[in-house]
């Protein structure tokens, strides 16, 4: 019996900080989307492609859908997430076990209008203090919407990820592969390098500052065999922020560079020489023009 080829798109959506990027990275077995404990770490729609035999699943990692979209960058993120709800075969609605917020309800309201089957993915079950809370939570969740399935799991620890992938595979339609079998993302190495620098900034800086910065790759070239030379510009909105990013004696910037370089070497499979510079562009996060210049372009 000849197996029928299947391929399809699966959107991963939810409010900020529920573990969408961690989930996709675990499914793929490598880091494609950056992660941190801070909300809104993911700013762009990113494809993660998993090919196994005659099955190809294209996961669409999205920024968290949020209610407070005061700045242009926040509105861009909401548009990027909303646009992923169309032209997909399945939606994974990621939630945090034991919690239901106004932003979760906002996401569900959008999903009700999408006409696409939805699987509720209840993440972070390992963080529940009282495991007896899980079953009542799942029951209440099932009453909110007619989900295709409700899947409790831990994206961080990998618990029940296999069962989720089986559920996804059952709902992928027939069709030829859309990407080469060895391709894992639609994003360029330049994009991934910028994201890795931004991830380290998110993880090393205080609560608010990461939202006032973005990263632009100025140079990305192979200097010699097996050695990349990368220049990255870190853009902030005020001189005071620039001083914080650099740190006393350059300490913060050096540590960010060290961590990013190590991740880049693992990702690109070669040595990396990384230079970081910090520049100021006032109000970039609320300027549509600046956002386009920094690569924040709507994709439909």
Verify that 15 and 163 share a domain, yes or no. yes
Which two structure tokens, joined as six digits, stand for 258? Answer: 């060290």
pLDDT number for residue 113: 87
DSSP string, 83-148: HTTSS-SEEEEEEETT---HHHHHHHHHHHTT-S-EEEEEE-GGG-S-GGGHHHHHHHHHHHS--S
What is the structure's pLDDT at 3? 56
Spatial CB neighbours of 261, under 8 Å, sequence gap ≥ 6: 272, 274
Distance CA 112, CA 101 (A): 17
Q: Domain boundary at 135, 169, 203, which? A: 169
Residue 54: inside a domain, yes or no? yes
Same domain for 139 and 16, yes or no, is: yes
Domain membership flag for residue 299: no
Residues 251 and 102 in one domain: no
CB distance 27 to 161 below 8 Å: yes
46-52 and 55-61 beta bridge pairing: antiparallel
User: Is 180 a member of any domain?
Assistant: no
**Residue 62: per-residue pLDDT:** 92
- Please report whether residue 298 resides in a domain: no
Range of the domain at 90: 6-169
φ, ψ (nearest 5 deg) of residue 142: -65, -25
Co-location of 165 and 204 in the same domain: no
Residues 120 and 263 in one domain: no
On whether the pTM is more than 0.85, the answer is yes
**What pLDDT was estimated at residue 1?**
34
Q: Mean pLDDT, 10 residues at a time, over the chain (300 residues)?
A: 77 94 95 87 92 96 83 89 89 97 95 93 93 94 96 95 97 95 94 96 86 94 90 96 95 97 95 97 93 82
């Amino acid at each position: 019996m000849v197996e029928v080829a299947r391929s399809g798109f699966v959107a991963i959506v939810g409010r900020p900080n529920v573990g969408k990027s961690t989930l996709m990275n675990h499914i793929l077995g490598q880091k494609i989307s950056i992660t941190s404990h801070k909300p809104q770490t993911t700013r762009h729609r990113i494809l993660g492609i998993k090919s196994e035999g005659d099955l190809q699943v294209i996961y669409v990692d999205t920024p968290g859908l949020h209610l407070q979209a005061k700045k242009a960058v926040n509105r861009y993120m909401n548009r990027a997430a909303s646009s992923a709800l169309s032209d997909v075969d399945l939606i994974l609605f990621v939630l945090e076990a034991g919690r239901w917020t106004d932003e979760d309800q906002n996401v569900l309201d959008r999903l009700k209008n999408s006409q696409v089957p939805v699987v509720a993915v209840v993440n972070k079950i390992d963080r529940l203090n009282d495991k007896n809370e899980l079953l009542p939570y799942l029951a209440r969740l099932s009453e909110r919407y007619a989900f295709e399935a409700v899947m409790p799991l831990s994206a961080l620890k990998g618990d029940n990820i296999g069962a989720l992938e089986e559920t996804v595979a059952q709902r992928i339609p027939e069709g030829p592969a859309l990407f080469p079998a060895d391709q894992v993302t639609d994003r360029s190495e330049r994009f991934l390098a910028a994201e890795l620098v931004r991830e380290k900034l998110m993880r090393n800086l205080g609560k608010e500052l990461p939202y006032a910065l973005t990263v632009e790759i100025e140079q990305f070239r192979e200097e010699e065999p097996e050695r990349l030379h990368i220049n990255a510009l870190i853009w902030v909105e005020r001189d005071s922020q620039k001083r914080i990013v650099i740190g006393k004696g350059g300490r913060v910037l050096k540590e960010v560079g060290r961590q990013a370089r190590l991740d880049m070497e693992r990702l690109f499979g070669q040595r990396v020489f990384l230079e970081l510079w910090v520049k100021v562009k006032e109000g970039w996060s609320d300027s549509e023009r600046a956002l386009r210049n920094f690569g924040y372009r709507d994709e439909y």
